[in-house]
Amino acid sequence: MEEQNHRQIPRFARHCYLFLFSVFTVSLATAQAFDYGDALTKSLLYFESQRSGRLPYNQRVTWRDHSGLTDGLEQGVDLVGGYYDAGDHVKFGLPMAFTVTMLSWGVIEFRDQIADAGELEHALEAIKWGTDYFIKAHTSPNVLWAEVVPFPKLSSDGDTDHYCWQRPEDMTTSRRAYKIDENNPGSDLAGETAAAMAAASIVFKKTNPHYSHLLLHHAQELLEFGDKHRGKYDGSVGVVKRYYASVSGFMDELLWAALWLYEATDKEDYLNYVISKAHCFGGIGWAISEFSWDVKYAGLQVLASKVISLPLVIFMQ
């Protein structure tokens, strides 16, 4: 998670999925040139270092401590937890949700290989750290808290935060939270958060069925909210425009959420939603050169090719 303009994926992006599959299926014991197990470990340690809130007893990044313990207090809601954005003190909902979706997708596809590397529990903890926060942030069916930012008297955006080289543990500025609701829509944020919770529900389905069901409930409400009250979240939460503006709009996130919900529930209504809106929501039947926290079409195409039993050409018409 980091603030930036969209990263362009090279032309060989279409081969990335096959490459990732190859990486995780290569025996770690025989991988002489590159230690992918070590890379996986360090990747998950990165997420631990970005944790906000009250840290658990088994926190491995020991130079971090509790922080952001009053997040949401001024708005009368508990928003303690979640992840900071790439070492900053800001918690941005859209890239955070996309990160949890991708972590969950990784575990769904490569659970055994991640377990063989000794990192499955850490991966599950990384996912749950995010979804626990999303549950808190989804305070009612049509309300989702979008972000928490430091709020100096003279600035409400992230600039001041970037100029301040300070640990989150030492923050003294007040914190302000922003939300989307019926009057201030954010279908892209609602859709991506729904996708994250639906994907995570698959991850926890066997090991924690009650939690999995809870995630599904929130995911279903969020998709319904995002679809019924349509609009871009950066139109409702203006402070994100300089950092995570929703350039691609919200249609890709609604399709993305519906497809993940179909994968999680096997309910035909979600599949019918995707198929009926695939063309008018755009980006399905042609090549996409980017997959990011903003643009989900490429991931949608890959997921569709895996979960939809119909010929993909029918889906793309």
Query: What's the rounded mean pLDDT across residues 133-145?
Result: 98
The DSSP H or E segment spanning 92 is strand 91-92
Q: Where are the domains of the chain?
A: 52-309
Q: What is the pLDDT of residue 47?
A: 96
Q: Which residues of 253-279 are buried (b: 16+ CB within 10 A; e: fewer)?
A: bbbbbbbbbbbbbeeeebbebbbebbe
Query: What's the rounded mean pLDDT across residues 232-242?
Result: 89
- Of 271, 256, 264, 269, the closest CA to residue 302 belongs to 256
Cβ atoms of residues 132 and 100 within 8 Å: no
Cβ atoms of residues 169 and 65 within 8 Å: yes
Query: Which residues lie closer than 8 Å to 4 by C-beta, 6 or more apart?
Result: none
Rg (C-alpha) for the chain, rounded Å, is 19
Please say if the pLDDT value at position 237 is more than 60.
yes
Cβ atoms of residues 100 and 127 within 8 Å: yes
Average pLDDT, the chain: 85
Q: What is the DSSP letter of 294?
A: S
Q: Determine the Cα–Cα distance for residues 71 and 125; give it in Å rounded to an integer.
A: 21
Angle at 156 between CA 160 and CA 244, to 5 degrees: 85
Structure tokens at 275: 């198929």
Query: What's the rounded mean pLDDT across residues 100-114?
Result: 97
Q: What is the pLDDT of residue 207?
A: 96
Q: Determine the Cα–Cα distance for residues 105 and 41; give it in Å rounded to an integer.
A: 17
Cβ atoms of residues 97 and 193 within 8 Å: yes
Q: Determine the Cα–Cα distance for residues 210 and 97; give it in Å rounded to an integer.
A: 21
Q: What is the pLDDT of residue 121?
A: 97
Comparing 62-66, 165-169, 202-206, 308-312, the range with the smallest average pLDDT is 308-312
pLDDT-derived band at 209 (thresholds 50, 70, 90) equals very high
Better pLDDT: 282 or 9: 282
Better pLDDT: 269 or 308: 269
Q: What is the pLDDT of residue 76?
A: 95
Query: What's the rounded mean pLDDT across residues 269-294?
Result: 86
Better pLDDT: 1 or 77: 77
Q: What is the pLDDT of residue 292?
A: 94
Q: Determine the Cα–Cα distance for residues 270 and 262; give it in Å rounded to an integer.
A: 5
pLDDT-derived band at 25 (thresholds 50, 70, 90) equals very low
Q: Determine the Cα–Cα distance for residues 104 and 175; give it in Å rounded to an integer.
A: 29
- Looking at 1.50.10.10, 1.10.10.60, 3.20.20.70, 3.40.50.300, the CATH number of the domain 52-309 comes to 1.50.10.10
Cβ atoms of residues 6 and 295 within 8 Å: yes
Cβ atoms of residues 297 and 283 within 8 Å: yes
Residue 242 phi, psi dihedral angles, 5° rounding: -80, -10
Cα-Cα end-to-end distance for the chain: 34
Q: What is the pLDDT of residue 306?
A: 85
